[in-house]
Structure 1
Amino acid sequence: MPSLNDVFNQLKQANTNLAAIHNDLLQVRQSTDQVRNAVNNQTAYVQALVQGQTYTNQSLHHLSQQNETVICLLGQIARHTCQSLNESHLQTRLQKKMERVSTGVLEILQHAHPEGAVISVKNEELRTKVEACCPPEKEPPICRMEPCPNAGSLDAPPQEPSFHQPD
């Protein structure tokens, strides 16, 4: 049978072993805490990257919508410009033809009815005075802008988080 001293020595040895295990567990806990902190820092870093990427994606989408609006407006401008040029060309030809015909008709009438020519000049003077006093109503413009889609405004970018990078 072991003596009381042997049991005491075994208890001391067990206590020493428990103290060593306790110290080892403290070191494991410190290492685990360091790993947890490093993971938390990296998680915050990744979350910041994701937040920045999300904002970048929103910005790209917003710019795409604005580009669609610009393209729509440019298309309208191009159509209106082409229509205006075609109409202007047609009207210029018609005006030149009308001027030639009107001049010819006016000369014939003035030779056939000289008294009518004098009345015509007086009527034109009266018309000019009336229009100076009471100008005729203007016709509304034939070209009206059609609204294009509005992309709206973009939210402010997210704030840069501050976090500590482990050494």
Structure 2
Amino acid sequence: MIATWWQSLATNERRMLSAGALVATLLLLWAFAWHPLALRRAELVTDVERQRLELAEVRSAAADVARLRAVGAQARGDREGKSLLALADTTAREAGLGSALRRVEPVGERDVRVAFEGAGFDPLVAWLEQLAGRHGIEAIEFSAQRAQGIGLVDAHVTLRDAP
């Protein structure tokens, strides 16, 4: 049926229909195959560039971490032979927190729990920063409740010795 219809067409009509079918086929291939693939490729190129930037940031952060670990290791050796327990007690008193210091007790092998009542919040935070910066000791747990008086807190801090 289609073959007889095709044979009944004039040569020019057959050429025109063949050319139209070829153009339609090419347009369909472009619309459903080539164009989506090209769009996806552009998205992937953008993703790769973004990931390269993120990798550079992570490498920079890793270098910072390594540098800070080295500083912490140097600071850790600056203890004059004191244990974490003794260092926490001594530095808290030196930071002006002696009157608020209630308890310093060991928790496990590398941790010390320190309790304060009515401590100034600003000196407490400065003390924690000093421990981290000078001695490589980090606060792994911190809780504080408001105490009577402006800027005063009752606080519990768990300190961990740097590895």
TM-score band, normalised by the shorter chain? Answer: 0.3 to 0.5
Higher share of residues assigned helix: 1
Larger radius of gyration: 1
Q: Which has the higher contact order (CA 8 A, sep 6+)?
A: 1
TM-score by length of 1: 0.44
TM-score by length of 2: 0.45
